[in-house]
Amino acid sequence: MGLSQVKVEANPMNNRRFNLTLKKRVRVSPITIDAILPPSRAEQRERERALRRRPMPPPPPEPETETEPVVIHAWSAPRSLSTSLMYSFAQRDDMEVLDEPLYANFLRVTGVDRPYREELLSSMDPDGNKVISEVIFGPGKRKYRYCKHIAKQRLPNLSSDLMKKGKHFILIRNPLNILPSFDKVVPPSFFELGIAELVSIYSALCELGSPPPVIDADDLQQDPEAVLSGLCEDLGIPYQPQMLQWEAGPKDFDGIWAPWWYRSVHKSTGFSMPRRYPLTFPFALYDLLEQILPFYNMLKRHVSKTIGSPQPTLPDPPLPVPENKKILVWVGDELLPRDSAKVSVFDSVVQGGDAVWEGLRIYDGKVFKLDEHLDRLFDSAKAMAFSNVPSRDWIKDAIFRTLNANGMFNNAHIRLTLTRGKKVTSGMSPAFNLYGCTLIEWKPPVYDNSHGIKLVTATTRRNSPNSIDSKIHHNNLINNILAKIEGNLAQAEDAIMLDKDGFVSETNATNIFMVKKGIVLTPHAEYCLPGITRATVMDLVVKESLVLHERRISLSEFHAADEVWTTGTMGEITPVVMIDGREIGDGKIGLITRQIQNAYKVITAGSGVTIPRNADE
């Protein structure tokens, strides 16, 4: 065994002299004569084969050069899986990440206290605009730069470049999950959560012409691959499968606040499935939940359609009139946007169909037959023993306010619903808080009144007054809906409903008339709703010097009729050209039907309650 010594002497600037001696033991191997003999041919060939089998060493990495990365801004409220998502993007081979680069600026400007405040302010640049120009948008080593932002850290003192440059997306999470998690570290507040600021960011980006993709943390946990690949598609970057996993433990790019906030994510190696059952909610935060939930719901409506959701959802059905996508609806005592117009699950109309309603039409700035419809509404409410019913003037005012707010003064339909109100508990006993709901939308007549419609006879019988009196205009329409389903299956516009004795009552949605040898007939109203349009047409028949009979009419009489039409507020006067596969008359619209249609147009154009408007309009 040999021994070597190395002696190093150094003279630093302070002229202090020191010696450093290193001792290293060196093992000397004996060399035998065999080691220096040339290899045999067989050995040489084996060595050559081994060299060929040995993988080629990778080329030396090219030196990284500075570039201008594309910045991806990820905006969220705290406790929204934002750190997990940052770890996910950090796994990409083309990505560098910044963890809340504007945090120091936020603490400096707001004065908010944190256990690590002084350490953070001394280790991060607190000048937000300098951070934006030199750090967020400064040169980098990778193609992309991911910036994790908390929404409340976007303060008014920051440069507009923050929003104008780069790609943006928004991560949301249900406040029911955020609040218990946040409460474990810092007492939550409206300010601390910053969900209103998240909506402000969405609005600002929309105003810049770049609505950001929105993803939901619940979807991300349920199906991370689908959500991440969809998000990458929305951002215009390729998806990389390694985004699904990362190593457990702290990361060198974590902020200094990580020991307080990142404990659970440091234990993770990927996106975990959400809890099957939620944690018990801290009900001391119930009021705060009510304050912030509307902001979450607003953003929830904008979750990106290209991002796969684990829950199967039906696409939004196309609206017959696209303009109705954005309308204002009167609920209770206020006007609300369409998607916000809701009644409580405790409302009696939801609990038991306990409500009454009317349908009205607007012609040339007037509400047709308004007083007649309100008469029937109040009669129905009285029959249902409603209490605290709003006054007639109050309901009229709600109608007129809704019409004016929507700018609807012609070719519109009103669905007016009066519910008994919210129940204080489940059960049949009615509660006494009463709410009104006024839905007004653009709606031309719902049937083809120029060429006619087809009807079939339903097996579902019309309600007898012994069970539910059809003269009450109530919201329990299951009887009608079952008949309508039969009509749909037969590819007919509507279905005729018979009474218990087999006589024609009405259709699932309208009253019905027929003509035989110049005489107009319509069924008695024992089993049907005596519609206001029905009454108007009966008056018109008399005024047009035609003979009118109101009696029981069998189905075979309708099959053999010369003409048939239906009446209703939404459909007006609708010709019927076929019933149960049998052609009515010659299969064309009859002369008397045309005569009544024309008379109805005259009366709708010349009557009705004028919609009041502001003096300057």
Q: Which CATH number fits the domain that encloses residue 397?
A: 3.30.470.10
Whether 599 and 464 map to the same domain: the answer is yes
92-95: long-range contacts at Cβ-Cβ below 8 A with a sequence spacing of 24 or more?
92/144, 92/240, 92/242, 92/243, 93/240, 93/242, 94/142, 94/143, 94/144, 94/240, 95/142, 95/143, 95/144, 95/145, 95/146
Are 170 and 203 in contact by the 8 Å Cβ rule? The answer is no
Q: Which residue has tokens 């993803």?
A: 215
* 186 Ramachandran zone, left/alpha/beta (phi>0; psi -120 to 50): beta
> Token digits for 431?
């509660």
For residue 428, is pLDDT > 80?
no
For residue 457, is pLDDT > 60?
yes
Amino acid 524: pLDDT: 94
Q: Is 617 helix (H, G, I), strand (E, B) or coil?
A: coil
Whether 240 is covered by a domain: the verdict is yes
For residue 132, is pLDDT > 70?
yes
Whether 105 and 245 map to the same domain: the answer is yes
Q: How many domains would you assign to the chain?
A: 3
Last residue of a domain, one of 274, 291, 308: 291
Rounded Cα–Cα distance for residues 221 and 148 (Å) = 18
Strand (E) or helix (H) holding 81: none
Whether 329 is covered by a domain: the verdict is yes
> Token digits for 507?
């259709």
Whether 130 is covered by a domain: the verdict is yes
For residue 352, is pLDDT > 90?
no
Query: Which of these, 438, 458, 406, 445, lies nearest to 580 by C-alpha position?
Result: 458
Percent with pLDDT over 90 in the chain: 65
Whether 311 is covered by a domain: the verdict is no
116 φ/ψ angles, rounded to the nearest 5 degrees? -110, 20
The torsion angle over the Cα atoms of residues 107, 111, 112 and 116, rounded to 10 degrees, is 60
Name the more confident of 47 and 456: 456
pLDDT digits (tens, 9 = 90+) for 537-549: 999 999 999 999 9
Whether 272 and 132 map to the same domain: the answer is yes
Whether 80 and 200 map to the same domain: the answer is yes
Report DSSP state, residue 152: G
Q: How confident is the model at residue 354 (pLDDT cuts 50, 70, 90)?
A: confident
Q: How confident is the model at residue 353 (pLDDT cuts 50, 70, 90)?
A: confident
For residue 277, is pLDDT > 70?
yes
Q: Which residue has tokens 């992309």?
A: 144
Rounded Cα–Cα distance for residues 81 and 74 (Å) = 11
> Token digits for 584?
């009515």
Q: How confident is the model at residue 31 (pLDDT cuts 50, 70, 90)?
A: very low
Rounded Cα–Cα distance for residues 231 and 307 (Å) = 6
Residue 72, C-beta contacts closer than 8 angstroms, at least 6 positions apart: 89, 144, 145, 146, 147, 166, 167, 168, 169, 235, 237
Are 487 and 456 in contact by the 8 Å Cβ rule? The answer is yes
Q: How confident is the model at residue 28 (pLDDT cuts 50, 70, 90)?
A: very low
Rounded Cα–Cα distance for residues 260 and 542 (Å) = 84
Report DSSP state, residue 135: I
Encode burial over 436-459: b for 16+ CB neighbours within 10 A, e otherwise.
bbbbbbbbebbbebeebbbbbbbe
Name the more confident of 445 and 95: 95
Q: Is 71 helix (H, G, I), strand (E, B) or coil?
A: strand
584 φ/ψ angles, rounded to the nearest 5 degrees? -90, 120
Whether 477 and 377 map to the same domain: the answer is no
Q: Picking from 185-199, 429-443, 575-589, which range would have the lowest pLDDT averaged per residue?
A: 429-443
Where are any strands of DSSP class E within 295-434? 328-331, 334-337, 355-363, 366-367, 412-419
- Domain of 337? 322-435
Q: How confident is the model at residue 474 (pLDDT cuts 50, 70, 90)?
A: confident
Amino acid 39: pLDDT: 53
Q: How far is CA 112 from CA 104, 156, 262, in A?
A: 10, 16, 20
Q: What is the CATH number of the domain that holds 192?
A: 3.40.50.300
Whether 492 and 522 map to the same domain: the answer is yes
Whether 373 and 508 map to the same domain: the answer is no
Query: Which of these, 330, 370, 395, lies nearest to 610 by C-alpha position?
Result: 370
Last residue of a domain, one of 291, 311, 340: 291
Q: Which residue has tokens 């499935």?
A: 273
Q: How confident is the model at residue 38 (pLDDT cuts 50, 70, 90)?
A: low
Average pLDDT over residues 284-295: 93
> Token digits for 263?
């404990």
151 φ/ψ angles, rounded to the nearest 5 degrees? -55, -40
Helix (H), strand (E), coil (C) string for 484-506: HHHHHHCCCCEEEEECCCCEEEE
**Strand partners of residue 145:** 71, 96
Last residue of a domain, one of 435, 470, 496: 435
Residue type, 508: N
Average pLDDT over residues 443-447: 79
451 φ/ψ angles, rounded to the nearest 5 degrees? -120, -15
Percent with pLDDT over 70 in the chain: 85
Give the pairing of strands 144-150 and 70-76.
Answer: parallel
pLDDT digits (tens, 9 = 90+) for 408-425: 999 999 999 998 887 666
For residue 26, is pLDDT > 70?
no
Whether 54 is covered by a domain: the verdict is no
pLDDT digits (tens, 9 = 90+) for 313-344: 567 788 888 888 888 899 888 888 888 888 88
Amino acid 156: pLDDT: 94
Q: How confident is the model at residue 345 (pLDDT cuts 50, 70, 90)?
A: confident
Where are any strands of DSSP class E within 430-579? 435-442, 453-457, 494-498, 504-507, 511-516, 519-522, 547-550, 563-568, 572-579
Amino acid 112: pLDDT: 94
Whether 377 and 419 map to the same domain: the answer is yes
For residue 41, is pLDDT > 70?
no
Whether 197 and 225 map to the same domain: the answer is yes
For residue 62, is pLDDT > 70?
no
Whether 423 and 460 map to the same domain: the answer is no
Strand (E) or helix (H) holding 381: helix 370-383
Q: For the whole model, what pTM was predicted?
A: 0.66
Whether 431 and 459 map to the same domain: the answer is no
Whether 46 is covered by a domain: the verdict is no
Whether 313 is covered by a domain: the verdict is no
Residue 455, C-beta contacts closer than 8 angstroms, at least 6 positions apart: 487, 492, 493, 494, 495, 496, 507, 564, 576, 578, 579, 580
Whether 22 is covered by a domain: the verdict is no
Average pLDDT over residues 168-191: 91
Amino acid 463: pLDDT: 87
Q: What is the CATH number of the domain that holds 460?
A: 3.20.10.10
CB atoms within 10 A of CB 74: 23
> Token digits for 19?
């010696």
Mean residue pLDDT of the chain comes to 86
pLDDT digits (tens, 9 = 90+) for 490-543: 999 999 999 999 999 999 999 999 999 999 999 999 998 899 999 999 999 999
Rounded Cα–Cα distance for residues 259 and 554 (Å) = 82
Whether 232 and 96 map to the same domain: the answer is yes
